[in-house]
Structure 1
């Protein structure tokens, strides 16, 4: 595994929108369950050097409007430019929402629900202006379907509604909590193909080995979440411990870097600690340098890690 494949910025390219091209950093800051601290934590993440933010228009678990506040503060201070950061949100169906706090009318047709959710996301994540309706020039890098709908017909109704916003207000589309067969079905039917898949990375799905292979074949970036929470055995495995001890990094950061080493993966990182944000980013660079300096040692560690996942050793 070449060091350049370890981590870095993966390209998001849609063959159907050839003029839309961007790159996705190794870490995406996850904003779920941050509540009133959301704006400050997003600002801290950008200050630490993280350049991608994940949220959802799902008040039950996310404060999307506070994500926008944190981004705007960083933009206004000149800390970052909008073109330098990746902002991703989600459309969440009625089944995933708090019935007393939805971003759309649940009695409306699904296409109207999608439209209203995207419009309010554009308002929440606007790049400037104090007015809620000041969305001139605002856009979202990727909108993810939070979970497939109960049927493929309903899923494609949502997808086709989202496609109408591309490329003007949305640059890319994606799907989360999705199995391989549903992903293949969406990919076959969609005009705008999925650019990302965001899934739990855990043993119950055999770490999505088949799905990740499909993603690699179709130039879809795999976004891993629950990477630490769902994998205590991996965090405390000998393979992870050896890498952490060799380079003086945390076991958590070492696991992240070995996951990056599988290829075509970025990771959601939801830490609330500013020093941890910086340390995780520094760990990526340390491991990358190690892979360049000692490619055989890195390869041995990576292959041993793959055996833990029962991933094909290549």
Structure 2
């Protein structure tokens, strides 16, 4: 199954996230693909990701007959504020150069000539978009126009920032990736903007950011009705409201169970119940 952004590029409906996997990244990416995942998320940010090990996994998969063009690969540009001293670019260079150097470094790490999605890891400021954000976004738009990335997007973005970007950018984002809290209506305001603009909303930390929801008796009751786990219910809910969920599990059993969430169907009433469960 796939979702399609406003630029008509398809993207798988579930994505495997590689943050915090450290030296296990190569093995876990291969395990995720063997389990059925066809979309992989990473970033050129050594504090939290090992992008080069994702590339090693892709090479190992190629030797097993799994071609690069059968996988959806998403990586990110992370500004100096989100890096340690190991920046994948000249930190003293202008921002346009930083984006290009980071992107070229990502292609080298990932052993590929293109990426399917290139994402700005987050704006430089908490409110609004400043000059730095517009310079970075213009550089990312340039990569999209060159054909080196099929989609562009932004992560860790507020509703106000996303509205500004959609109104003023030459190319609005095709994807948005945010940490998704049930207490905020599952990021309802940002999701509604995405829906209005044909942008695919990717939700991360769906389980870890909502532990109380997973333990809620209402979720347990739905899980019992469907013979599913609470995690499967949350992932299925996400899909049915138009979200693309990410999972970062290190368990192959959970990888397979997460993907099986596509086989369930929640009722309209159950979806409404989960949407407001933490409000």
State which of 240, 247, 251 in structure 2 corresponds to 1:273. 251
- For residues 20-64 of structure 1, the C-alpha deviation after alignment (integer angstroms, 9 at most, x for no partner) is x43222221010010111011001100100111000000111000
Structure 1 residue 76, shift from structure 2 partner: 2.3
TM-score (normalised: structure 1): 0.83
Structure 1 residue 248, shift from structure 2 partner: 2.3
> How far apart in 2 are the matches of 1:232 and 1:276?
16
Structure 1 residue 219, shift from structure 2 partner: 0.5
Q: Is the CA contact (8 Å cut-off) linking 2:185 and 2:276 kept in structure 1?
A: no
> How far apart in 1 are the matches of 2:258 and 2:143?
34
State which of 91, 98, 103 in structure 2 corresponds to 1:113. 98
Corresponding position of 2:27: 40
Structure 1 residues 221-300: aligned runs within 5 Å = 221-262=200-241, 264-285=242-263, 287-288=264-265, 298-300=267-269
> How far apart in 2 are the matches of 1:60 and 1:102?
10
Structure 1 residue 206, shift from structure 2 partner: 4.2
Structure 1 residue 203, shift from structure 2 partner: 4.5
> How far apart in 1 are the matches of 2:182 and 2:251?
27
Structure 1 residue 281, shift from structure 2 partner: 1.0
Give the SS at the match of 2:188.
helix
Q: Is 1:143 aligned to residue 118 of structure 2?
A: yes
Corresponding position of 1:219: 198
Corresponding position of 1:164: 142
Q: Name structure 2 gaps, 5 residues minimum.
A: none
- For residues 149-183 of structure 1, the C-alpha deviation after alignment (integer angstroms, 9 at most, x for no partner) is 23422111001111111242111110001001111
Corresponding position of 2:77: 91
Corresponding position of 2:274: 305
State which of 190, 203, 208 in structure 1 corresponds to 2:169. 190
Give the SS at the match of 2:225.
helix
TM-score (normalised: structure 2): 0.93
Q: Is the CA contact (8 Å cut-off) linking 2:186 and 2:275 kept in structure 1?
A: no
Q: Is the CA contact (8 Å cut-off) linking 1:68 and 1:126 kept in structure 2?
A: yes
> How far apart in 1 are the matches of 2:111 and 2:71?
13
Give the SS at the match of 1:13.
coil
> How far apart in 2 are the matches of 1:40 and 1:155?
35
Structure 1 residue 75, shift from structure 2 partner: 2.2
Aligned pairs, how many? 275
Give the SS at the match of 1:147.
coil
Give the SS at the match of 1:148.
coil
Q: Is the CA contact (8 Å cut-off) linking 2:182 and 2:275 kept in structure 1?
A: no
- For residues 288-314 of structure 1, the C-alpha deviation after alignment (integer angstroms, 9 at most, x for no partner) is 4xx5xxxxxx2221122123155xxxx
Q: Is the CA contact (8 Å cut-off) linking 1:88 and 1:140 kept in structure 2?
A: yes
Structure 1 residue 113, shift from structure 2 partner: 0.7
Corresponding position of 1:76: 63
Corresponding position of 1:10: 3
- For residues 215-258 of structure 1, the C-alpha deviation after alignment (integer angstroms, 9 at most, x for no partner) is 10000111111111110121112232122212222211111112
Give the SS at the match of 1:170.
coil
> How far apart in 2 are the matches of 1:96 and 1:155?
14
> How far apart in 1 are the matches of 2:218 and 2:262?
16
Q: Is the CA contact (8 Å cut-off) linking 1:207 and 1:309 kept in structure 2?
A: no
